[in-house]
Amino acid sequence: MKDKLLCFMFLTASIPAFAATPITPLTTWNEPGTAAPVRPLGLAPWPPKDPAAREAWAEIAMLEDTRATDLSRLVGHYQSSQDSLVRWRVCRAYARLQDSTGVDVLLDALQKDPSPWVRQEAAFALGQVGSRRATQALIYAAREQRDRRVRARSLEALGKIGDPEARGVVTGHLTNPDPELSREAALACRLLRAKKVIPMHFGTFPPLTGRPDDLRERIAGLETTVWALEPGKPVEW
């Protein structure tokens, strides 16, 4: 198979109607008529007030600035600190160092940390590290995490990692009514370089109101072709 193919169910029944008056989108992938979303600035939070936590921040910064090769202290800070700001700072350090030895810690943070800010930073860091060991956990997070920013950063990370297994969940978010999620999915789709998308099951029963032409409009600007199959007509690739 020379071309990369992707099949997914195209649902639009749950997508809300948008205002008729066009509003300038933030990117070419936003839904027509959808206002540009307010994105978080992504600025680092202030250091914690607790003296012990501030000392941990200082050590983490030192390890980061000196490009330390032994990062066992980062693992220790993550596992022992009750302060979510310290755990967030560990994830940020791994993102900047792009050190693959931190994948296990970051996966643990993504899946189990009680703070959505830590989970969000863990997803971002996994994308910066770029290890395909994180693909399945990020796919699950993009689908199941309740916090939308964690899902957005998971989609971003999947695009950066570039594992073809992520194409299903990424393209499935192209029609997400949340502008941030649909934008991150479009950017990830470009990084994953899916050549063809095959809509499936459209028009087979009433809730499936989407059509291939709708999908073409939604992903205009990507190097991805929507390949609509017709009953009884064989295709070759």
* Cα(55)–Cα(67) distance, integer angstroms: 18
**Cα 85–Cα 158–Cα 213 angle in degrees, nearest 5:** 130
Q: Which pLDDT band, with edges at 50, 70 and 90, does 209 fall under?
A: low
Whether the pLDDT of residue 23 is over 70: the answer is no
- Nearest-CA neighbor of 135 among 115, 111, 97, 162? 162
- What the chain holds in terms of domains, given with CATH numbers, is 52-193 (1.25.10.10)
pLDDT tens digits for range 116-146: 999 999 999 999 999 999 999 999 999 999 9
Out of 172-176, 183-187, 197-201, 212-216, the most confident range is 183-187
Rounded to an integer, the average pLDDT of 57-61 is 94
Determine the Cα–Cα distance for residues 20 and 160; give it in Å rounded to an integer. 35
Residue 31 confidence class, pLDDT cut points 50, 70, 90: very low
What are the φ/ψ torsions at residue 206 (nearest 5 degrees)? -50, -45
Does residue 195 register a pLDDT over 90? no
Distance CA 50, CA 47 (A): 9
DSSP string for 156-175: HHHHHHT-GGGHHHHHHTTT
- The C-alpha atoms of residue 157 and residue 86 are separated, in whole angstroms, by 22
- 114 CB neighbour count, 10 Å cutoff: 8
Task: Compute CA distances 207 → 47, 113, 177, 214, whole Å.
Answer: 49, 37, 16, 15
Comparison of pLDDT for 229 and 162, the residue scoring more: 162
Distance between CA atoms of 84 and 53, rounded to whole angstroms?
10
pLDDT at 212: 74
Confidence category of residue 187, pLDDT binned at 50, 70, 90: confident
